[in-house]
Structure 1
Amino acid sequence: MKTPDTQRPRPGSDILRSALRRNVGAMAGGTVLMGLYQAGETAFPIALGLIVEHTMQDRSLGALAVSIAVLAAIITTVSLSWRFGMRILQKANTTEAHRWRVRVADCGLQPVARDVDLKSGEVLTIATEDADQTADIIEVVPLLISSLVAVLVAAVALGLADIRLGLLVMVGTALILSILSVMSKKIGSSTREQQARVARAGAKVADLITGLRPLHGFGGNHAAFRSYRKVSTEAKHQAVTVAMVNGAYTGTANLLNASLAVSVTLTAGWLAFNGLITIGELVMAVGLAQFIMEPLKMFSDMPKYVMMARASAERMALVLVAPPVTTPGPERPAAGGDLEIDCVRYGTLRELKFQVPAGEFVAIAVYQPRAAADLASILAVTVPPGAYEGVVRVSGEELAGLSIEAVREHMLVNPYDGEIFAGTLRTNIDPSGTSRMVPEAVEASMLTDVVALHRDGLDYGVRDRGANLSGGQRQRLSLARALAADADVLVLHDPTTAVDAVTEQLIARNIAELRRGRTTVVITSSPALLDAADRVLVLDDGVVTAEDTHRNLLATDREYCLAVAR
């Protein structure tokens, strides 16, 4: 008896079936037109044989004119059916590829992350190349059917001339497909491995580009290059393997197809020599032997493309059917509210416990950078509640029982390395275009000099990742975006590490003023931000070890003084 796992269909197959069901109308129309195209191609040598047969008996101009008209009609049918058939299929293919790209992107952008052991570069490859190859099944099936129509029409026509010719085509085609279907499995497994290695190389490139400046800063760019070169070389070797397998497949297919065509031609010649078929039938047989090379080649290529589509579909399934890392609750936090960390143990945090009342501005001085990152990850809900011990409460509600979308609307956690997107200053500060706090956020983050520096002001163009901005400008732009959101609870992680001391002092004062009456938490070692806060919590070795104002701590805690004084 089969286990439930073996009874359940493979996700890759489900994706292919879904694509086929969704495009059944377009595929039916494309199949009819492509079948008409192949039938017209097949009819050409048949008509040529019949014309030769009848022209030898009736040598009139009328018979010649009819023959030319018939050939013109066949050629017109072939041309128009190919044109419109491929238009339908390629439109459906492109549309289906777009749908899968959007599906993969949607999964990657969900508030609740999926349990996928893939890097962003690998997901990008799946959303592009694999989506395209999966959608190719929309063209593969109609072309497969139309090629089968052509081979069947040719076999029937040859069989009417002599049954041995028809059987030769049918048996030869079955033999060719049997051999190639075995070889196509090797292509499928090799292609899956190649796609995985290329995706890993892409992920490595994305990581290196993101961290290019820090790498140059400490001289690690050469080691990073060697690391990428190793991954890229592995991808290259696998690509060569796939190319060799594809070459062997194509060469074998061409050899078998040519052998069948030669066999039909020689057999027809022998039959004509012995008077078993007429000259017209010989012309038809020779023409069909040449013609069936194309549908046979297309027919024999289809198993390869099916395996490639299936391999890509299985890679997409890694993203699409992966379960979420957590199942969030349905509740929403109340407006305003406080923030409470109750005996949280995660990473470097151990029994961390503190509370920030509604409306208070609290700074957290963290002695270990890893602990700051762990705390920010928990508050940003990038770490699911089930992955750590203890409880986080927002407005008195446990985080595990709240909708993640609602939590992120209520509590914004701005990371120290916030992304800058291609667009303008305005679209980076207010992506949704709905904030009423843009002028105040620009003023508070001291981004006014950047706005004033350019004629376009807030509409000044920003390149991808803020490549045309300095480090300090990018950090202030990210801070302006966080302030413009005007969240009930705002958590800032090292928002001023790339700005000068004078600007940092002004920003600290501005944040305190702008966020007056709103709950604000700043994880920082900046003396300016620590001094602007209502209260400072000292986080050392994963627990809160001290709590007071910045100035009192400077006067009474030597270790704190050494850690934050500049």
Structure 2
Amino acid sequence: MTPTNPMRSRTGSAILRSALRRNVGAMTRGTVLMGLYQAGETAFPIALGLIVEHTMRDRSLGALGLSIAALAVIITTVSFSWRFGMRILQKANTTEAHRWRVEVASCGLQPVARDVDLKSGEVLTIATEDADQTADIIEVVPLLLSSLVAVLVAAVALGLASVQLGLLVIVGTIAILAILSVLSRRIGAGTREQQARVARAGAKVADLITGLRPLRGFGGNHAAFGSYRTVSAEAKHQAFVVARANGAYAGAALALNALLAAAVTLMAGRLAFQGQISIGQLVMAVGLAQFIIEPLKLFSQMPTYVMVARASAERMALVLAAPPVTVPGRGRPEPGGGLDVDGVRYGSLDKLRFTVSPGEFVAVAAYQPRAGADLASILAATVPPGAYEGAVRVGGRDIADLSIEALREHVLVNPYDGEIFAGTLRTNIDPAGTGRSVAEAVEASMLTDVVALHRDGLDHAVRDRGANLSGGQRQRLSLARALAADADVLVLHDPTTAVDAVTEQLIARNVAGLRRGRTTIVITSSPPLLDAADRVLVLDGGVITAEGTHRTLLGADTTYRLAVSR
């Protein structure tokens, strides 16, 4: 069957072609203006030669004024064509880079797992640096064509003065490009390897930041830092290799370009000495020989930029072309429905069965933390349906038949380690900016003291990962965000492990009150939350072994009493 997602068939070459097709209009306008710029630059030494030639025959103020006017027109043309040409190309470049960043980020954030061996840090590098470098192709092609215009204009102008000079420029340019094309292949291979190693180093940093606190807890931070040092050193070494190759390439290009310019100048001098060209043509030839170095330099640098863009596009294809492990359905659950877990076997779960009625507040007391984490992963749909036995139904529909968007609108699973983002308290609670239920969520999560503590209130700045908040404050902020979403089915996984007992008691009462009439599941061992629930399910050995109210279980089940008592 033909894949429904066009991204899956993309390769690095296809990505570059797509970028070029989307920007053909901007590139055409940019090419015309940059070609006009290069033609104007080339016309300057040609005009000087003609002025010298004309002035030697007609030494009058009128001729001088006409010459100055001609140079003014050329300079104005050069200035405005460069200004507006680069504006068009850079705008298109920036817009295209934004498109690719969004597409890569969209694929990286898909809740359906993807069969691709890339960590989050590598995806981040691809979504930033590689997206930008791929979009550079929008500028590279017009600049390449405009440089070709300059070389051709110079070759034609010199050919009109002397066929030998024109042929020298054409043959010399072809020879230079042939030599540099060999060197550029080595740069392309080295660049791909460098980008891969830098991305791996970025992934290692992301892993370290995420697990820094646990690492410090058992003294593993030094070993982890040593591992990062090794990965970073490999990236540094590869960067040196690429830098040496780039240096050799740039040096060779400069030397070859200078050699061609010198050859043109010497041949023009010899032809003038022999009387085959005039003094004005000699001035033109010397001026063009000096000018042609710049477009030749730009022309010779283009293969390197193309190689870098190609390498980045191929890395983007790793994300964009990765097929999903499973294809989500298109259905939608019935609003206000309950949740049914039917014979789920996954990880530590062993044919788990239970039902939560619509509007019910149920607590799951997981004796083994791994079982609670596995259950949360299943309900969050981070585990594709094909990876476990059994079924999970929401609102009467199997989640395998639901679209991811519909499932996310209906069910919200708030993990125990919910991320806190750089921004403000308000943007963390209400990322969409809808403003619904924010005040109620702040009060229910007992975040009111944090808001009152700061002069800016909900607009108080929050650093990346909540670095300027305590553990309990981060946890309450994450809980407030989950409550403010007001999902039909809310699943909370250990939402109060970092708060004190008094605050935990208040949170349990507030959550039960705020969620009254809404389906709520709390995976927890917290006595206040267990007591606030309508019903407690005991999860032991991967199955439900007991159920009832918290107080009933305390009196009837010694194991339960020992497991939840603090």
Q: TM-score, normalised to structure 1's length?
A: 0.93
Q: Is the 8 A contact 1:493 1:523 kept in 2?
A: yes
Give yes or no for contact 1:525–1:564 (8 Å, CA) kept in 2: yes
Instruction: Provide the rounded CA distance (Å) in 2 between the counterparts of 1:10 and 1:177.
Output: 30
Q: 1:70 to 1:510 in 2, by over 3 A?
A: closer
The Cα offsets for residues 411-458 of structure 1, whole Å up to 9 and x where unpaired, read as 221110112233333333333344643333333322232233334443
Shift, 1:90, TM fit: 1.7
By how many angstroms is 1:556 displaced? 4.2
Q: Aligned pair 1:326/2:326, yes or no?
A: yes
CA distance change for structure 1 residues 9 and 475 in 2, over 3 Å: closer, same or farther? Answer: closer
Structure 1 residues 162 and 451, CA gap change in structure 2 (3 angstroms)? closer
Separation (CA, whole Å) in 1 of partners of 2:344 and 2:301: 58
Aligned counterparts of 1:200 and 1:425: Cα–Cα separation in 2: 32
Q: Quick check: 427-436 or 10-19, which moved more?
A: 427-436
Structure-2 separation of matches of 1:51 and 1:457: 72
- Structure 1 residues 86 and 418: alpha-carbon distance in aligned structure 2, compared to 1, 3 A threshold: same
Instruction: Note the alpha carbon deviations across 1:510-548, whole angstroms, 9 max, x for none.
Output: 323333333221111222222332332222232223334
Q: Which residue of 1 aligns with 2:38?
A: 38
Residue in structure 2 matched with residue 438 of structure 1 by the alignment: 438
Secondary structure of 1:365's aligned partner: strand
Pair 427,59 (structure 1): closer, same or farther in 2 beyond 3 Å: closer
2:262 corresponds to which residue?
Answer: 262
Residue matched to 2:180: 180
In 2, Cα distance between equivalents of 1:393 and 1:73? 74
**Contact 1:134–1:312 under 8 Å retained in 2:** yes
Distance 1:447 1:49 in 2: 78
Q: How many residues align?
A: 559
Corresponding position of 2:216? 216
**Amino acid paired to 1:141:** V
Partner residue of 1:315? 315
Contact 2:113 2:384 in 1 (8 A): no
Contact residue 450 and residue 473 of structure 2 kept, 8 A: yes
Is the contact made by 2:191 and 2:311 (CA closer than 8 Å) also made in structure 1?
yes
Would the alpha carbon gap of residues 432 and 226 (structure 1) be closer, same or farther in structure 2, given more than 3 Å must change?
A: same
Secondary structure at the counterpart of residue 340 of structure 2: strand
2-structure distance, mates of 1:160, 1:505: 92
Amino acid at match of 1:473: Q
Cross-structure match for 1:4: none
Mapped contact 2:9–2:321 kept (Cα < 8 A): no
SS in 2 for 1:352: strand
Range with greater deviation from structure 2 (149-158 or 459-468): 459-468
**Structure 2: gaps of 5 or more residues:** 1-7
Question: Paired residue for 1:3?
Answer: none
For 2:293 and 2:169, how far apart are their aligned partners in 1?
Answer: 11
What is residue 346 of structure 1 aligned with on the other side? 346
| Aligned pairs for 1:483-522 within 5 A | 483-522=483-522
Q: Distance in 1 between matches of 2:25 and 2:438?
A: 49
Residues 161 and 56 from structure 1, CA distance in 2 versus in 1: closer, same or farther, beyond 3 angstroms?
same
Other structure's SS at 1:495 match = coil
Which deviates more, 8-17 or 534-543? 8-17
Q: Which amino acid aligns with 2:335?
A: A
CA RMSD of aligned residues (A): 2.3
Equivalent runs, 1:528-547 vs 2, <5 Å: 528-547=528-547
What is the match of residue 451 of structure 1? Answer: 451
In 1: Cα distance, 2:434 partner to 2:267 partner: 78
Contact kept in structure 1, 2:10 and 2:321, CA below 8 Å:
no
More deviation, 229-238/280-289: 280-289
Q: Which moved more, 1:449-458 or 1:19-28?
A: 449-458
Per the alignment, in what secondary structure is the counterpart of residue 168 of structure 1? helix
Tell me the equivalent position of 2:127: 127
Corresponding residue for 2:104? 104
- In the alignment, the residues of structure 2 paired with residue 362 and residue 88 of structure 1 have an alpha-carbon distance, to the nearest angstrom, of 59
Q: Deviations over 1:143-183 (max 9, x none)?
A: 11111111111111222222122111111111111121222
How many Å apart are 1:386 and its aligned residue?
A: 1.4
Aligned to 1:94: 94
Kindly provide the CA deviation profile for residues 82-128 of structure 1, in whole angstroms up to 9, marking residues without a partner as x.
22222222222222222222222333344545444322222222222
- Greater mean alpha carbon deviation, residues 508-517 or residues 223-232: 508-517
2:275 matched to 1:275?
yes
Classify 1:71/1:460 alpha carbon distance in 2 versus 1 (closer, same or farther; 3 Å). Answer: closer
Q: Specify whether residues 173 and 370 from structure 1 end up closer, same or farther in structure 2 by C-alpha distance, changes over 3 A only.
A: same
In the aligned structure 1, how far is the partner of 2:380 from the partner of 2:263? 71
Q: 1:255 to 1:461 in 2, by over 3 A?
A: closer
Q: Distance in 2 between the 1:412 and 1:57 partners?
A: 87
Maintained 8 Å contact 1:416/1:493: yes
Q: How does 1:235-384 map to 2 (within 5 A)?
A: 235-384=235-384
TM-score, length-scaled by structure 2: 0.93
After TM superposition, list the pairs within 5 Å mapping 1:464-483 onto structure 2: 464-483=464-483
Distance in 2, matches of 1:448 and 1:85, equals: 54
In structure 1, C-alpha distance between the alignment counterparts of 2:371 and 2:248, rounded to whole Å: 56
How far apart, in 2, do the equivalents of 1:453 and 1:59 lie? 84
Cα deviation for residue 364 of structure 1 reads: 1.5
Using the TM superposition, name which of 309-318 and 55-64 deviates more: 55-64
CA displacement 1:319-376 (0-9 Å, x = unmatched): 2233233221222111222222111111222222222222332222222222211110
359 and 95 in structure 1: CA distance in 2 versus 1, 3 angstrom threshold = closer
Measured at CA, do residues 150 and 486 of structure 1 come closer, stay the same or move farther in structure 2, by a change above 3 Å? Answer: closer
Task: Please give the secondary structure, in 2, of the residue aligned with 1:56.
Answer: helix
What residue number does 2:461 align with?
Answer: 461
**Partner AA of 1:172 in structure 2:** G
**Percent of aligned pairs with the same residue?**
82
**C-alpha spacing 1:564/1:257, structure 2 compared with 1 (3 Å):** same
8 Å CA contact retained: 1:35, 1:150: yes
Task: Pick closer, same or farther for the CA change 1:429–1:500 going to 2, 3 Å.
Answer: same
Answer whether contact 1:454 1:460 (CA < 8 A) is retained. Answer: yes
Give the match's secondary structure for 1:420: coil
Kindly indicate whether the alpha-carbon contact (under 8 Å) linking 2:447 and 2:477 is maintained by their aligned counterparts in 1: yes
Q: For 2:13, give the aligned amino acid.
A: S
Structure 2 contact 212–221 (Cα < 8 Å) conserved: yes
Deviates more, 1:366-375 or 1:438-447: 438-447
User: For the structure 1 residues 175 and 352, does the alpha-carbon distance in structure 2 shift closer, same or farther, using more than 3 Å as the test?
Assistant: same
Give how far 1:295 is off: 0.9
**Partner SS, residue 476 of structure 1:** helix
Question: In the TM superposition, what is the alpha-carbon distance from 1:498 to its structure 2 partner?
Answer: 0.3
Residue 397 in 1 paired to residue 393 in 2? Answer: no
Measured after TM superposition, the shift of residue 400 of structure 1 is 0.7
8 Å Cα contact 1:435/1:485 also seen in 2: no
Q: Return the alpha-carbon distance in structure 1 between the equivalents of residues 189 and 52 of structure 2.
A: 50
- Give the SS at the match of 1:332: coil
2:449 and 2:10 mapped to 1: Cα distance? 57
* Aligned counterparts of 1:32 and 1:534: Cα–Cα separation in 2: 72
Equivalent position amino acid for 2:12 in 1:
G
2: CA distance, partners of 1:526 / 1:72 = 81
Describe the SS at the equivalent of 1:298: helix
TM-superposed CA distance for 1:129, in Å, is: 1.5
Task: Give the C-alpha shift of residue 304 in structure 1.
Answer: 1.0
Q: Find the aligned partners of 1:152 and 1:477 in 2 and give their Cα distance.
A: 64
Contact 2:111 2:381 in 1 (8 A): no
